[in-house]
Amino acid sequence: MAGNSSLTMFKYSPSEVPIFEGEHYDYWNSEIRDFFISFDLWEIIENTYEEPPEDGSSTGWNETKQKEFKKNQKKDCTALRYIKQGKEFQGNGKVVSIKLQVLWRDFDTLLMKESEKVTEYFTRVAQIVNHIESLGDDIPEKKVIEKILRSLPPKFDHCVAAIEEANFKIIDA
C-alpha cells in the first residue's frame, strides 16, 4: 500500500477541518478550500460583506438587508472558528520537543546587541518566551526578568544594579 500514501496524508472525516501537518501544502490547500466550499463559506473567506453604517443610521438597510448581514456575520464567525481549528501545525511530540530545545537554546544565549534599543530587545525576548509557552512549557516571570538583566550590555550595569537594589528593598520590607 505504499503507493497510496497520498490518500492518508490527512486524517479527518469530511466534517472535520483538514489540519496542515507541515508537508504537502498544495494538497492541503486544495482540501481546505473544498472544505470551506462544502460548508458554503468560501465566498465569505474570499470576499467581504457589507456592514451597516457606523453612524447607526439604517438608511438603505431594510429588514432583508439586516437579515443578510446577520447571516454573513454568522458565516464569517463559523469560518474563523474552522480556521482556528486547523491552525498552524505544531508537530508530534518529537517535533515539539526539538522546537522547544531550539527555543530554550535561543533564550539561554540571548544577548542584547549594543546597537539595539531596549524595546526591540524586549520584543525579541517576548517573542521567544511566547513561542516557548505556546508549545506548552512555562517560564516563570522571575526567570525572564533575571535573563533580561543578565543579558544587557555593560552600559546598563548601573541600571541593573539600581533595579536589583530596589528589588531587594521591596523583598526585605
pTM, rounded to two decimals: 0.46
Q: How many domains does the chain have?
A: 2
The contacts of residue 18 (CB under 8 Å, 6+ apart) are: 10, 12, 28, 31, 32, 35, 86
Residues 22, 71 share a domain: yes
Per-residue pLDDT of the chain (173 residues; tens, 9 = 90+): 444 444 444 444 445 778 776 677 788 888 888 888 988 999 888 887 788 776 666 666 788 888 888 898 998 888 888 877 766 555 567 778 888 999 999 999 999 998 989 889 989 999 999 888 888 899 998 899 889 888 888 888 888 888 877 775 555 54
Boundary-marking domain end, from 85, 117, 133:
85
Residues 44, 26 share a domain: yes
Say if 49 falls within a structural domain: yes
Residues 55, 103 share a domain: no
As given in the structure block, the three cell numbers for residue 134 are 505556546
Boundary-marking domain end, from 85, 102, 118:
85
Say if 3 falls within a structural domain: no
Residues 118, 72 share a domain: no
Residues 135, 78 share a domain: no
Domain extent at residue 145: 93-172
Residues 114, 45 share a domain: no
